[in-house]
Amino acid sequence: MIKDVIELRQHRWEPRRKELKQKTLNEIRKEAEREARAPPSSAPSGGGRDRGDRDHFRSDRRSNSSRDGFNSGRSTMAPVYQHSQSMSTRSSSSNKQMTLPRGIGARDDSVKTGPSGRPAAFGVASRQGGRGPSGSPASFPSSRRGPAAGAKKPQSPAPRAKVIPPLDDEAQEKIGKKAKSIAEEYVSIVDLKEAEACLVEVQKEFKNHEDVNRVFAFEVLKEAIDAKAEAREKMVEMLEKLSLETKTLTFVGIRYAIEKTIELCGDLWCDVPKLHEHMSEFVVRFMKDSSLTCVSVDWVLGGCLQSVDKDAMEELIDGGFLAAVLGEILKLLKAVDVEKAKKEISATNVTILSVFPSYKQSPKDMQEWIKKYELEDVLPLEPAFGLVERVSKASSYDEVVSYITKNIPETMRNDPLFATYTCLFILNLSKEGELPSAERCMLLMGFCGNTDTQVRLVSAIVQTRTDNDEVKKLLKHLVKEGAVLAPAFSKWLELKNDNSLSRMRVQEELGEFVEELARTK
């Protein structure tokens, strides 16, 4: 079943090309001498294998499955771990090297956001100051001259990090088969030392190439989610112990396995109804120590999804899988450590509503989601729901403020997370194309008492709304009413820990507009 889903994802497979490596002057001279002595020969072929060879990757992986989904007579194409880049990033250049994703790269998941500034005051427009964006131009070398003939070659600057090309298709296929064999053996004898020895042997065979960890972890996780309960538990246990206990399997491999498996979940969920539970159980094993593994809620909602193509992402969101898997993750994490679950939510700039289906982003929808996954302690938004209910019933401004004073403590009002969702709920009460009234903007001003909350609110707005004209009108209106001030836009432009999927798109399409708002006086 999983193989057929992979086949659908891989219909635009392209053969790999060999990486063009930079040569030294001596190597170039020697090559020129060889060419002068020998007749010209044809150029070496690219690194891709013939497409027909991929049929060799077919295996009997479905024999352990109790389902017959995706069983039509379609030919199997390359495994997902060979499809290492998003379809949207494929280049027409034949010399561009295709590489596997490298986990979360240089993202800093340790950066936290939190409350700052003075207590909120309803109807007061004074805010904290802030700085605008800054930057410096790139510098280039002033001379391109090489060393004189016969002169000693000057010492070159520190070399750049060597780019290691990915393993070829044949190697990845071989690793995948060995991973399956090791997993099946572990299920039978539950011998961690034997599994570790086998993995080390594979790593040595391929000179400890990082792709070994990626392919191994992904292949085993694929087998696990399609296996029976007992086998699945043992396979997942093996991955956990090989990474957290013996340190043999890298966390880069674990993160890659999660990334590529989640990409398939939109298609698989209807055939594996508990797939969101299986994935959540696996993710939480590594999220308990997110500072070590870099597997966090922020990563799951951001970096993990960066390589997913547009169609698959729509399935994951509109089908409800991402909302379900997030709910299960927080529920399981809360059972272990409620404070850890709270920190994971407050540490991300990704708005939870942004992974809800577009037709289920109302305050009531989120309230039901919180109750379903028993997250009242993790997301204590009940007072916000009560406030929004009164605002929606057109209660007078004084009545609403009275409710706030009695039911929402000042510490909660000053909490950027609580205040952001409260403001977002109030904004979502407006009909399409309608701007919030002056009284509602006064409520927003009361909760947006510090710059951190304003920045989070700007992030939430651009993450949950895709109509750029609508976003522009709303942000202009909020600036005019004093709910969000210029320093917040400057700080939003400088954010380094916003890993949301919409960040890059918004910066490209609305960057200049936001810069103008940041200069507003």
Give the number of other Cβ atoms within 10 Å of residue 35's Cβ.
11
Distance CA 108, CA 294 (A): 9
Round to whole Å and give the CA distance between 350 and 464. Answer: 10
pLDDT at position 410, please? 93
pLDDT digits (tens, 9 = 90+) for 79-120: 433 444 443 443 344 333 334 443 333 434 443 444 444 445
How does DSSP classify residue 391? H
Angle between helices 210-225 and 192-205 (to 10 degrees): 140
H-assigned helices in 132-274: 169-189, 192-205, 210-225, 229-240, 251-268
Burial class (CB in 10 A: 0-12, 13-18, 19+), 448: buried
User: Do 448 and 440 meet the contact criterion of CB atoms below 8 Å apart?
Assistant: no
Q: Which domains does the chain have, with CATH numbers?
A: 380-521 (1.25.40.180)
d(CA 302, CA 319): 18
Six-digit token pair at 149?
Answer: 């003939």
pLDDT of res. 6:
61
pLDDT of 17: 41
Residues of the chain with pLDDT under 50: 13-19, 40-119, 123-152
> How far, in Å, CA of 257 to CA of 35, rounded?
45
Q: Give, in order, the Cα–Cα distances in Å from 347 to each of 64, 148, 217, 281.
A: 40, 56, 27, 21
Q: Give residue 50's Cα distance to chain centre.
A: 32
Report the first-to-last Cα separation within the chain, whole angstroms: 59
How far is Cα 3 from Cα 9, in angstroms, rounded to an integer?
A: 10
The gap from C-alpha 470 to its chain's centroid, in whole angstroms, comes to 26
Q: Note the pLDDT tens digit of each residue in 147-203.
A: 444 444 556 566 666 788 999 999 999 999 999 999 999 999 999 999 999 999 999
User: From the DSSP assignment, how many helices (H) and strands (E) are in the chain?
Assistant: 23, 0
**Residue 151 CB partners (closer than 8 Å, separation 6+):** none
> How many Å apart are CA 231 and CA 193, to the nearest integer?
18
